[in-house]
Amino acid sequence: MDRGTAAKRIKELHNLLNQYNYEYYVLDNPSVPDAEYDRLMNELIEIEQKFPDLVVPESPTQRVGGEALSAFEKVEHESPMLSLANAFSEADLRDFDRRVRQAIGEHYAYVCELKIDGLAVSLRYEDGLFVMGSTRGDGMVGENITANLKTIRSIPLRLNENLNFEVRGEAYMPRKSFEQLNKMRAQKGEMLFANPRNAAAGSLRQLDPRIAASRHLDIFLYGIGEAGTLDISTHSESLELLSRLGLKVNKEWKKCLNINEVIEYVSSWTERRSSLDYDIDGIVIKVDSLKQQEQLGRTAKSPRWAIAYKFPAEEVVTKLTNIELSVGRTGVVTPTAILEPVQVAGTTVQRASLHNEDLIREKDIMIGDWVVVKKAGDIIPEVVNVLTERRTGEETVFHMPAQCPECGSDLVRLEGEVALRCINPKCPAHIRESLIHFVSRNAMNIEGLGEKVIGQLFLRGLVKDAADLYFLEKEELLKLERMGEKSVNNLLEAIEKSKSNSLEKLLFGLGIRHVGEKAAKILSEHYGTMDQLMKATDEELQSIPEIGEKMSDSIVTYFDNEEVKQLIDELKAAGVNMVYRGPRQAAQSNVESVFAGKTIVLTGKLEKLTRGEAKKKIEMLGGNVTGSVSRKTDLVIAGEDAGSKLAKAQELGIDIWDEEKFLEQLEH
């Protein structure tokens, strides 16, 4: 076979294999036996081995290949992957409908879709070719899991049209695949996965794509992130387009003309969900018109044009055998119900938080009671109520102690709070939990420092506060249980790496009361350095729009503490970064910028910069980049093949720049 004949045959095989693959994995209607598919695949492999220069990324042979990764790189989404607000009842759905009607009038329709219980992902196609896939992450930044997503046979490596766009969906593990996986793990004596959702998430975060391939995952695509030049005006049109392009869309979606039809759809699937061969945890309801979606807008966390109805939580009965106490990093003492193990919503539950003594009294909970347990939002176990009719008289009343169960200090109830709190700063539990928070992923992100290692370090007296982590010696760590040479080297490397984190990571890790991730980022961006923040007064802090009186008081009180000042000095001495390294708003720096305070939309393909790079540069100069054009948009930067967004900007008379003018302004 010469090269020309090989190239022609490879193209024929691509078309045949892609067609058969689509019929089998998307339509669930194969037209040829498996043996015929395997024969053609083997033929393709043989030809590609003889002519390796003819191998292309979209070849069916390229779904699994290459070396295992050492880590996943971060990916910034071109438009945010927002979470949805939840509805738990018919009243919640009617309230959502009322808000929609008040905002856009009487004429609108909804699209209802099954809410797949899996892992949200984003797929990027360029010229019709699948080039990148990522996890949702925090909605703004995810992880590049392209190699693992390529192993999902229902994801086409090339679309039916050469389009540039980003599509969102839910990767999941079918129940049959889940059962097979757990059966194999049981045979090997490995820990079983609790449910298909956890198994899917774990599979897609494997560094070796061959492992992901062996798990037989699937996917449903449900929306378009960046539409590019696509000519669509409704969500239902986008679902139809995705299907035409060869992407797998859940066929159970339905267009509803009013809220009554929505409620009927929800009621139907609440009864029928067990008949599916995959897990769903609710129904997603979206306003169909894209123009009306834009009119409704969004909050910081979720769109106002969509809502997720969550199915009622599964409730089970079990026995409450004891109540244990734990002390958190802020000193709050929390009672926890110890239960006879029971299956709830796919996982084994043995513990449930009781929050505080008032709740125990309100629900009349006694040790030895038979109780009803559910998972709030299908995630957090909670005691719903007590079956008092089953009491035998052997149950015992629980009383919260007057002293801390860890250090023996008197517990206090602060004004306006229901929780009891240990206020001893030297309380071992307080320190231990603070250290666990400090090293956590969203704080200093020190991999290898889990609860068990922290516990050993604390018990051996190797750490008393966060600064001590940066002075640990290799010889000390090697003496810990299950810490060999490689583990210790990796841990020391992770500790060293954490020193260069931007200030907001450290600030969140310190665990200042009322200061969460978002507030830590706002404060770090505003003040720039730890020293400047430590000098801030109540009045100065409250001048920042997002910082209220309670938070400002907590910050000032925290940094007035001499032990805290000493801790900061020790962290400085260890070389921990005390400076904000993220983008600064121009209004908070001395930079004069044409982008400052403006709402800007990027559309089309840029030649000199990626869209993510352009977005970062604009934000560093004080601009705000959004994904859709509206009357509030100040500027549109249009690259090649700019479509509907450009047309809308022209219609609204919004200022439009090409890439050349944009680059010129960046240099000023």
User: Backbone dihedral region of 482: left (phi > 0), alpha (psi from -120 to 50 degrees) or beta?
Assistant: left
Report how far residue 146's alpha carbon sits from residue 63's, in angstroms, rounded to the nearest whole number: 10
Number of H helices, E strands in the chain: 24, 24
Are 1 and 50 spatial neighbours (Cβ–Cβ below 8 Å)?
Answer: yes
Give residue 468's identity as a one-letter amino acid code: D
Identify the CA nearest to 230 among candidates 149, 303, 307, 159. Answer: 159
Report how far residue 337's alpha carbon sits from residue 350's, in angstroms, rounded to the nearest whole number: 8
DSSP for residue 466: G
Identify the CA nearest to 587 among candidates 579, 595, 577, 576. Answer: 595
Has 115 been annotated as catalytic?
Answer: yes
Question: In degrees to the nearest 10, what's the CA dihedral of 295, 299, 301, 302?
Answer: -30
289-298, long-range: CB within 8 Å, 24+ apart, which pairs?
289/108, 289/109, 289/233, 289/234, 289/235, 290/232, 290/233, 290/234, 290/235, 290/238, 291/233, 292/104, 292/108, 293/235, 294/628, 294/630, 295/103, 295/104, 296/100, 296/103, 296/104, 298/82
Report how far residue 529's alpha carbon sits from residue 577's, in angstroms, rounded to the nearest whole number: 9
User: Can you state the percent helix, strand and coil of the chain, rounding each to 5?
Assistant: 40, 20, 40
What number of residues does the chain have? 668
Identify the CA nearest to 25 among candidates 63, 68, 53, 54. Answer: 63
Residue of 115, 150, 310, 375 marked catalytic: 115
Residue 491: helix, strand or coil by DSSP?
helix
Are 197 and 223 spatial neighbours (Cβ–Cβ below 8 Å)?
Answer: no
The H-or-E segment that residue 602 falls in is strand 599-603
Residues carrying an active site annotation? 115
